[in-house]
Amino acid sequence: MSYNPAQSIQSVPLALAEDSYDIKIGFDLRHQLHELFRPWNQGQQWIVLTQQAIFDLYAAEIDALRTSGYKLDVILVPGDESAKHIGEAEKVWSKMVDLGCDRSSVLVALGGGVVGDLGGFVAATYMRGIPFIQVPTTLLAMIDSAIGGKTAVNLAAGKNLVGAIYQPKTVLVDPGFLATLPRRNVISSLAEAIKYGFIRDRSIFDLFVDRFDDLIKLDDKSLLTEILTKSCRIKAQIVSNDQFENGERRLLNYGHTIGHAFENLRAYQGLYHGEAVLYGMRCANHISWQKGLLDTQAYEAAQKVLAKFELPDLGDIDPQQVIDVVAHDKKNINGKLNFILLNEIGEATISTDVTPQDIIDSLAVAA
Ligand code: GLY
């Protein structure tokens, strides 16, 4: 594959019969939104759902849509996880009624995972479903949450407990948005990219082995486009094969079972999602090796690359608490723990025989 980020737009298909769409990846796409949105514009009302900080950065791009003839209003939501609440969804639905939105209106989610998840949920439910478009502005959203149609709000009892699988019409990925993101946010998000290397595409893992420092700097446009395109392609293939997460899509949970437990035990404070997943993958690699799936050479290579990511200290983690949280993971089925392990780098498997002792052993070595 040859990449010419200055000129080209990469197009990654996500095949889902009549819900199929393309993920488009290219520097400066944000300046071409009026062209890229055109297939869905029939003069109807458009809504850009975003947060104040993002609006402040990209007001010119939004204005350019208006001057190109789009009938468009902006709805702002809080800039943190509190936006993923049914009360916020209700406020957005009501504003959309006030703005005259009907079933043909298009909702554009411009932001990170919070805006994408809430925007998708609002679009899935407003008048039983309206078209929506994802324009992710964070690395995590670009390679993971904006792709695949998972939409949700949180409940007090847990994250993402109410939602729908509802696919966007397209996902527009402009790596230029990343220039304004805090570095720690970007680095931790690369966890999801190396995850794709572990579970499906050895060439992504090899990129981290060979070019870790360049990847972390994010200043090589060609390399950045390459890692984004490869990551989106793996996510798109997996979602195409298993939209509703009956099998293969569960592999995307690699590193997340124990990672979620760390996030939960830290009350979602002070530890980024990607950082928790990096710790979780270190543990899952250890379990894969201890169970005789991953050979020693591959295990050592995997842990060596993961050790390059700077991670905050996890502090005192009580293994029994980790076991308790893992036992209540919402991905468990009929009380059985569904744990993702590696057969080799580039090939994952679903295991139902990971024991509490396996987890305790992995925590002692990897967390
Ligand atoms: N983020 C995991 C999934 O989309 O299935």
Tens digits of per-residue pLDDT, 16-59? 999 999 999 999 999 999 999 999 999 999 999 999 999 999 99
Residues 6+ apart with CB under 8 A from 366: 279, 282, 283, 285, 286, 303
Active-site residue identified among 24, 84, 85, 150: 150
Q: What is the pLDDT of residue 6?
A: 46
Instruction: Tell me which H or E stretch contains 73.
Output: strand 71-77
Q: Give the pLDDT band (50/70/90) at residue 7.
A: low
184 is catalytic: no
pTM, to two decimals: 0.94
Q: Give the pLDDT band (50/70/90) at residue 4.
A: low
Pocket test for ligand 1, best of 23, 145, 237 (most atoms within 8 A of CB): 145
Strand partners, 151: 164
Of all atoms in ligand 1, which is nearest to the CA of residue 253? 2
Pocket test for ligand 1, best of 14, 23, 117, 150 (most atoms within 8 A of CB): 150
Residues 6+ apart with CB under 8 A from 309: 187, 188, 190, 191, 275, 278
Q: Does domain 10-180 have CATH number 3.40.50.1970?
A: yes
Strand partners, 16: 18
User: Pairing between strand 71-77 and 347-351?
Assistant: unpaired
Of all atoms in ligand 1, which is nearest to the CA of residue 150? 4
Selection from 169, 173, 366 nearest residue 277 by Cα: 366
Instruction: Tell me which H or E stretch contains 159.
Output: strand 158-165
160 is catalytic: no
| Both structure tokens of 170 | 């397209």
Give me the architecture of the 254-366 domain, per CATH.
Up-down Bundle (1.20)
Q: Which residue ranges make up each domain of the chain? A: 10-180, 254-366
Whether residue 3 is predicted with pLDDT greater than 70 in this model: the reply is no
| Both structure tokens of 340 | 């993702």
Angle in degrees, 0-180, between the axes of helices 273-290 and 356-366, rounded to the nearest 10: 120
Give the angle subtended at the CA of 36 by the CAs of 33 and 37, to the nearest 5°: 80
Q: What is the pLDDT of residues 160-207, one digit of tens each?
A: 999 999 999 999 999 999 988 888 988 899 999 999 999 999 999 999
Q: Give the pLDDT band (50/70/90) at residue 362.
A: very high
245 φψ region: left (φ > 0), alpha (ψ -120 to 50), beta (else): left
338 is catalytic: no
C-alpha 233 – ligand 1 centre gap (Å):
14
- Phi first, then psi: give them for residue 287, nearest 5 degrees: -65, -40
Percent of the chain residues topping a pLDDT of 70: 97
Q: What is the pLDDT of residues 111-121, one digit of tens each?
A: 999 999 999 99
Q: What is the pLDDT of residue 182?
A: 86
Q: What is the pLDDT of residue 181?
A: 83
Per the prediction, the chain carries an average pLDDT of: 94
| Domains 10-180 and 254-366 alike in fold | no
Lining ligand 1 with CB less than 6 A are: 144, 148, 150, 249, 252
Quick check: 113 and 140 in contact, CB under 8 A? yes
What residue owns the CA closest to ligand 1's atom 2?
Answer: 252
Strand partners, 171: 23, 134
Gap between the Cα atoms of 93 and 99, Å rounded: 10
Q: What is the pLDDT of residues 230-263, one digit of tens each?
A: 999 999 999 999 999 999 999 999 999 999 999 9
* Residue 302, SS3 per DSSP: helix
